[in-house]
Chains A and B, each alone.
Chain A
Amino acid sequence: MELVAAAALGKFIGAGLAAIGSGAAAIGVGHVAGNFLAGALRNPSAAAAQTATLFIGIAFAEALGIFSFLVALLLMFAV
C-alpha cells in the first residue's frame, strides 16, 4: 500500500517537474518572437516575407514544450 502511495506521489511530482518544460518552451517562443520583432523593426520591408519563417520557428519551439506537457499528461493519466 505504501508502495502505491509512493508511486502516486512520484507521478504527481514528475508531472509537476515536466510542466517546467512548458515554461521553458514559453521562453523559447518569446525569444523567437522578440528577435523577429527586433529584426522587423530594423528592416520593416523585409519583415512581411519572413512571417512564414517566424511561424515555423515558433512551431518548432512550441513543439518541445508540448512534448513536456505530454509527459505530464502521461504521468497523470496513463502511468
Chain B
Amino acid sequence: MADQSAKQGGGPIIKIAFFVVLALVLLSGAIFAPEHPGLAIHPMDQFEIKPLFGGDHLGTFTPTNQTLWMVLAIVGIVLLLVVGSRGRAIVPTRGQSIAELAYGFVYKMVEDVAGKDAVKYFPGIMTLFMFIVFANFLGLIPTSFTATSHIAVTAVLALIVFVFVTVLGFVKNGVGFLGLFWVSAAPLPLRPVLAIIEIISYFVRPVSHSIRLAGNMMAGHAVIKVFAGFAAALGLFGFLPILAIAAFYALEVLVAFIQAYVFSILTCVYLKDALHPSH
C-alpha cells in the first residue's frame, strides 16, 4: 500500500521538490541580498595571479595560484594517461579506454591533418592538447584558476609552435619553404602582392592562435562572473541569472574542449605547411 502510494506520488514529489528548491533559491536571494544592492561587478578579479603561500612579493620562481592549477593539470594527465593505463589490459578498464580514446583521437588528428610523416611530432601535439584540455576543464571548477585564460601562457604555447614550425620548414625544405608565400597559381603581376599578404598572415598566425584560446577562456569566465553580479544585485529575482549561468556553463564545457581541439588542429595545419609547403 505504502509502496503503491510512493509510486503514484513519484510525479508530484518531483514537482514539490522543484518548487521547494525554487522557493529556497528565492528566499536565499532575499536573505543574502547585499545590504546596498548595486552592480559591484569585477569580472577580471578571478584572473589575478597571487603568490600561493601569501606575501606580496612575486618573483620569477614564486609558486602562485596559477602554478597550483598547472600542477593539478599535470596530476590529472598522470592520473588519466599513466595510472589509467597501468593495467596494460588487452580488454581495457574504464580508465584505460579513456586514455586510449585520447591517444587515438590526437593520433588520428595528426595523421589526418598533418600527414603520415608528421606522426613523429605526435608527442609534442599530445602534450599541447592534454595540457590545454586539462587547464580548460580544471578552470571550469568554481573558484579555481584558468591557466589558459592568461595571454602569457597561450602566447608561449603559440610561439613554441610558431618557432618550431618555421625552423622545421627551413630545415626540411631549405629555401623552398619560401614557396609557401609565393602563390604560383595566381597571375604573375599579382604574386608579389599576394606574397606580402601571405607573409603578414603567416606572422599573424601566432597572435590569433594565442588570443583565440585566451580570449575564449577569458570571455566565458567573465560572462559567468557578470551574471553572478546580476544575481547578487537582483535579490528576489536572482534565480534568473543563475539559470543563465547554468546555460553558459554548459556552453563553456563545450568551448573548453573545442578550443583545445582547435588549438591542436591548427598546430597540425601549420605543421603540414612546414612539411609540404606547396601552394
Contact = CB atoms under 8 A, between A and B. Distances in A.
Interface string A43-76: 0000000001001101110110011011001000
Given A70-B215, A73-B218, A59 B266 contact: yes
A21 to B, nearest CB: 12
Contact of A55 (B44, B215, B222, B258): B258
A56 B109 CA distance: 13
Nearest to B218: A73
Nearest to B222: A73
Contacts of B266: 56, 59
B104 to A, nearest CB: 15
B212 interface: yes
Interface residues of B, number: 18
Contact of B262 (A55, A69, A77): A55
27 contacts: A52-B109, A52-B112, A52-B113, A52-B265, A55-B261, A55-B262, A55-B265, A56-B262, A56-B265, A56-B266, A58-B262, A59-B212, A59-B262, A59-B265, A59-B266, A60-B208, A63-B208, A63-B211, A63-B212, A63-B215, A66-B211, A66-B212, A66-B216, A67-B211, A69-B219, A73-B222, A77-B44
A60 B44 CA distance: 25
B262 A66 contact: no
Interface residues of A, number: 14
Contacts of A60: 208
A55 B113 CA distance: 12
A66 B113 CA distance: 25
Given A52-B112, A52-B113, A55-B258, A62 B265 contact: no
B269 interface: yes
Q: Which of A52, A60, A67 has the most CB of B within 10 A?
A: A52
Contacts of B215: 63, 66-67, 69-70
A60 B269 CA distance: 13
Contacts of B265: 52, 55-56, 59
Contacts of A55: 258, 261-262, 265
A53 to B, nearest CB: 9
Best-surrounded residue of B109, B215, B261 (most CB of chain A within 10 A): B215
Contacts of A66: 211-212, 215-216, 219
A55 B112 CA distance: 14
A63 B261 CA distance: 14
Interface in B10-48: 44
Nearest to B42: A77
Contacts of B258: 55
Contacts of A63: 208, 211-212, 215
B215 to A, nearest CB: 3
Contacts of A56: 262, 265-266, 269
A1 B102 CA distance: 58
